[in-house]
Amino acid sequence: MSADHAHALEAGRGNDLPVHRDDEGSKTGMWLFLFTELLLFGGLFLIYAVYRSMDGAAFHHAAEELNRTLGVTNTVVLLTSSLTMVLSVSALQRGNRSRSLAMLTATFLLSCCFLVIKYFEWSAKYHHGIFPGTEHIHALPAGEGLFFSLYFMMTGLHGIHVVIGMIAMAIVFAKVRSGSINQDRHGALEYVGLYWHLVDLIWVFLLPLFYLTN
Amino acid sequence: MNHSHSMTHGGNARPHVLPDGLFVGIWVGLLLLTAATVSASVFFPGKIGILVAVLVTPAKAALILMYFMHLKYEKPAFVAMFLVAVGILAIFMGLTFFDYLHR
Amino acid sequence: MAAPSSVAAFGTTGSYLDTFPGRRGLWGWLTTVDHKKIGLMYAAAMFTFFLVGMALGFLIRLELLQPGTQFIGPKTYNSVFTLHGVIMIFLFIVPGIPAILGNFILPLQLGAEDVAFPRLNLLSWYVYMVGAVMALASLFISGGPIDTGWTFYAPYAVNTQTNVSWAVLAAFVLGFSSILTGMNFITTIHRLRAPGMGFFGMPLFCWGLYATSWIQIIATPVVGITLVLLFLERTLGIGFFDPSRGGDPILYQHLFWIYSHPVVYVMILPAMGIISEILPTFARRTIFGYKAIAMSSMAIAVVGYLVWGHHMFTVGMSDTARWIFSILTFFVAVPTGVKVFNWMATLYRGSIEVRVPLLYALGWVFLFSIGGLTGLANGALATDIHIHDTAYIVGHFHYTMFGGAVIGMFAGLHFWFPKIYGRMYDEKRATWAWGLIMVGFNTLYFPMLILGIMGMPRRYQDYLPQFSFWHMVSTIGSWILVAGILLMFFNLLRAIRHGKIAGDNPWGATTLEWKTSSPPPLLNFAQAPVVTTGPYDFTEILAKGHDPEAKSL
């Protein structure tokens, strides 16, 4: 036997060789990963709940500083991106590659839009001196400072997830276009979709916690 | 040998694809629910606004999970595992509040 | 090896340890996706760290030989016990059994070729190594070795000048590795069981790993985010754990123990699984109460999520929370008791053959029983006030974690060694090592229980003269224990090359890993196994009589 064969035998023992392929298993793994994401944010939700229960009034007061219009707009943007994502997956499942790619592009653009809005929101706060570690935020009443810290931590962590999601989208876009993700092997696109919906799901909770609190 | 050893477990069948109209409908529903939460918090700030948010937000999450994330059509094991994860998170919260609500 | 005639035969004959063409030497190891080799790579890394941690523990005991300063000053002492804890917990015990023995044995026991995501498995090893390097690097870069204890409690961990930032990021990265392993194992168990093997047909070690993996997945992210927040608290001052900014340091403790209590069961559940494999094998008797043991693993995993508050009885938690956590803590004893009684019932009227793995298993039951029972005293509110933060706690958790997790791992190593390398260690020397470890262990840690009740605080570098007798006894115990452990490692390492050929099933065990050759071929089985009996069916072994030299192929 040749060295190449042995190499392929060992290196190819992943779940992507046809004989080893197990979509159900990959999907199980993906969901388990989503649980860890859920619990990661869960820790922050717990901190939010504790400090809000300790000083609800400060949370209401501080929340007035946030721009509700931008928050709601971003919710609409993200919900729509979830729609285009799911349409991209189902288009590929029906074998319509160009529609799948178009929908994926739309999702990507919407997530860019989300980040741009987020950028303006954060930089407005930053110009008012509201950012972790600034003099201004340390001068605020303790409860309000905690609210803003939570705001930056939770939307920040969420924003990181948006960026990771966009990188994943770019990768699957290239693979759908090259045909290595196709109607019969659409798992990777589906998992990126699952991840993206989770990002959306978490934002659904962030909206009332921060923007609709006052 | 490899073939006898390989995926006889199945699970690679083509999934049934839900109609696009359903997804659009879910999306419209999500937007309406968002509108409901936002207007409740604008027009009835305070208790009612919070109550609406507390009721509507999980409903939105459920729509995303069941349809966008396909959970409604997965095996019951997936739903069970999801409930375990969420249930344990709820336990974390609940037990912590035995401390904070009784200080 | 003889040149196989085809690619397929290449994976199903010979040994996974053979060099494959094109993948030689170190490179072959570093790029392998074979779960067995990855398990051994974990073993190499982790036992190295274990020896470092052991050396640090040895130094701690040497310093405590007599009152006053011997050779480690108070500040250095803080760093030494912190490092001992961090290395032993984060680098060794938490990932230990799943990563080493779980990786090697789980797919074999399920009759699978590999884990569900072999490349992810290799990635976990690299992530682990990155975390380990970061943890060790924190010693040498600015700030110096951390001195917070392995728990990184706020507010001290926020304020100290030592390099806590690197250490907590290292723990975060290590947690990520742990999560990936957990995902891999759960998927493997769900998807890759051999035809005919239902969930309740799995060996109990698999059940232990299954429960463990769920804890790794659900609990680890919580501590991950907590440690990141601690890092940001130090760098940005976000205020979550800083009382001067309205934060609550006790909330840090909640979040920390939400992970770190369940993770105690990450350490212990796989060890319990190992014991459940060894006892039936050497009693030649099916395990008593299979379902009860399997379900009690899951029950421990669940109840383990409910009891973290018992680490915090004296820190200012509300009284309501205190009694609720205390009651819940006592519930953990129920599934643990179920297991111990089932093990004893397994041995009862069995035809017991006393071999080295059984000695370790029995030693384990003894040590873990002490560990468990001393834990009940901590779980009770009144007694905990007396013994909290004393040497009693140190004694207790060494009985559970060292006596439980590590001795369990030693038991597993001796049990599966002939499978891993195809060779048998010197059983006489192994018995001597076992004896030294058992005697040294109890001489080392039992005095700590006494000292704690007498009032000796933990983490103190100096002590009053009335404590000196038991401290001296304890230090002498550490010498015996270290001698035993070194002898054990020497014996095992020597046997890798020089042990006599072991045969495929030297113990007469019944689970699937013993039905392939020793060491197994690359793809584990020559014929894909089909399961028709339960995991501990000894009828065939008893009827034929057991021939340790028999080849399975």
Give the DSSP per-residue string, B5-68: HS--S---SPPPPPPHHHHHHHHHHHHHHHHHHHHHHHHSTTHHHHHHHHHHHHHHHHHIIIII
Contact C8/B2, CB-based, under 8 Å? Answer: yes
Residue B95 contacts A, CB cutoff 8 Å = no
Q: How far, in Å, CA of C52 to CA of C46, rounded?
A: 10
Is the pLDDT assigned to residue C542 strictly greater than 90?
no
* Predicted confidence (pLDDT) at residue C328 exceeds the cutoff of 80: yes
Among the partner residues C12, C214, C306, nearest to B1 by beta-carbon distance:
C12
Q: What is the pLDDT of residue C379?
A: 93
CB within 8 Å: C22 and A46: no
CA distance C47 to C489: 9
pLDDT at C22 over 70: no
Nearest by CB to residue C8, choosing from B1, B9, B95, is B1
Q: Do A132 and C22 touch (CB under 8 A)?
A: no
pLDDT at C5 over 50: no
Q: B8 falls in which pLDDT band (50, 70, 90)?
A: very low
Question: Could you state, in order of their start, the residue ranges of all structural domains in chain B?
Answer: 19-69, 74-103
3-state secondary structure of C352: coil
Residue B10 has pLDDT above 70, yes or no: no
Question: What is the rounded (10 degree) CA torsion for B76, B81, B82, B86?
Answer: 140
A40 touches chain B (CB under 8 A): no
Give chains near A: 3+ CB pairs under 8 A: B, C
Residue A204 has a pLDDT of 97
Q: pLDDT tens, A125-168?
A: 999 989 888 888 888 999 999 999 999 999 999 999 999 999 99
Q: HSE (CB half, 13 Å, CA atoms) of A156?
A: 15
- Give mean pLDDT, residues A2-18: 42
- State the first-to-last Cα distance of chain C, in angstroms, to the nearest integer: 16
Contact yes or no for A214 and B57 at CB 8 A: no
DSSP state of C2: P
Rounded mean pLDDT, C224-246: 93
Strand C423-424 relative to strand C500-501, pairing: antiparallel
Correct CATH for C23-544 of 1.20.210.10, 3.40.50.300, 3.30.460.80, 3.40.1410.10: 1.20.210.10
Q: Which of residues 320-359 of C touch A (CB under 8 A)?
A: none
The dotted CATH code for A37-211 is 1.20.120.80
Domain residue limits, chain C: 23-544
Lowest mean pLDDT among A16-30, C144-158, C212-226, C273-287: A16-30
Interface predicted TM-score of the whole assembly (ipTM), two decimals: 0.93
Tokens of A117: 């809005």
The CA distance from A144 to the nearest CA of chain B, in Å, is 18
Percent of chain C with pLDDT over 70: 96
Inter-axis angle of helices C74-86 and C35-63, nearest 10: 160
Mean pLDDT of C286-294: 95
Residue range C479-489: mean pLDDT, rounded: 98
Coil, strand or helix at C465: helix
Beta strands in C387-515 (DSSP E): 423-424, 500-501
Tell me how far apart the alpha carbons of residues B26 and B5 are, in angstroms, rounded to a whole number: 42
| Least confident interval from A3-17, C361-375, C456-470, C479-493 | A3-17
Using the Cβ of B29 and the Cβ atoms of chain A, whether some distance falls under 8 Å is answered with: no
| Surface of C (493-552) touching A: CB under 8 A | 522-523
Contact assignment for B53 to A212 by CB distance below 8 Å: yes
Mutate to test the interface with A, among B30, B33, B44, B91 (most CBs of A within 10 A): B30
Question: Is C546's pLDDT higher than 90?
Answer: no
Q: Cβ C306–B95 below 8 Å, yes or no?
A: yes
Query: Which chain B positions have a beta carbon within 8 Å of A25's beta carbon?
Result: 9, 11
Closest CB to B41: pick one of A42, A200, A212. Answer: A212
User: Does the pLDDT of residue B1 top 60, yes or no?
Assistant: no
Provide mean pLDDT across the span C393-405.
Answer: 96
Taking the Cβ of residue B5 and every Cβ of chain C, the question of whether any pair is shorter than 8 Å is answered with yes
Averaged pLDDT for residues C404-421: 97
Q: Does A73 touch chain B (CB under 8 A)?
A: no
Interface residue of B6, B9, B95 to substitute, partner C, most C CBs within 10 Å: B95
Section A9-28 average pLDDT: 62
Give the pLDDT band of residue C141 (cuts 50, 70, 90): confident
Closest CA of chain A from C140, distance in Å: 28
Instruction: Classify C501 as helix, strand or coil.
Output: strand
> In sequence order, which ranges of A95-186 are alpha helices (DSSP H)?
97-127, 135-139, 142-178
How wide is the angle at C-alpha C234 spanned by C-alphas C233 and C237, nearest 5°? Answer: 50
Q: Which of A16-30, C96-110, C289-303, C461-475 has the lowest mean pLDDT?
A: A16-30
Do C305 and B91 make contact, defined as CB atoms within 8 angstroms? yes
Q: Which of C553, C540, C267 is nearest to C406 (CA)?
A: C267
Residue C549, pLDDT score: 61
For A81-125, what is each residue's pLDDT tens digit?
999 999 999 999 999 999 999 999 999 999 999 999 999 999 999
Are B88 and C218 an interchain contact pair (Cβ–Cβ within 8 Å)? yes
Give B11→chain A minimum CA distance, Å.
5
Confidence (pLDDT) at A22 = 86
Q: Is C183 on the interface with A (CB under 8 A)?
A: yes
Tokens of C177: 């590795």
**Domain boundaries in chain A?**
37-211
Please state the φ and ψ torsions of residue C458, each to the nearest 5 degrees. Answer: -80, 165
**Are the Cβ atoms of B57 and A208 closer than 8 angstroms?**
yes
Q: Residue A46 pLDDT > 70, yes or no?
A: yes
Q: Using one digit for the tens of pLDDT, what is the confidence trace for C117-140?
A: 999 999 999 999 999 999 988 888
The encoded tokens of residue C323 equal: 């009694």
Answer yes or no: are the C-beta atoms of C46 and C96 closer than 8 Å: yes
Closest to A206 measured CA to CA, from A91, A29, A120, A78: A78
Residue B66 in this model has a pLDDT that exceeds 90: yes
Among residues A112, A111, A90, which one has the least CA distance to residue A99?
A90
User: Do C110 and C27 meet the contact criterion of CB atoms below 8 Å apart?
Assistant: no
The rounded radius of gyration (Å) of the Cα atoms in chain C is 23
What pLDDT shows up at residue B15?
65
Q: pLDDT band at B45, cuts 50/70/90?
A: confident
Is the predicted pLDDT of residue C143 greater than 90, yes or no? no
Residues in C whose CB is inside 8 Å of some CB of B read 8, 11-12, 113, 190-192, 195, 214, 217-218, 222, 250, 254, 258, 305-306, 308-309, 317-321, 324-325, 523, 525-528
d(CA C429, CA A159): 58
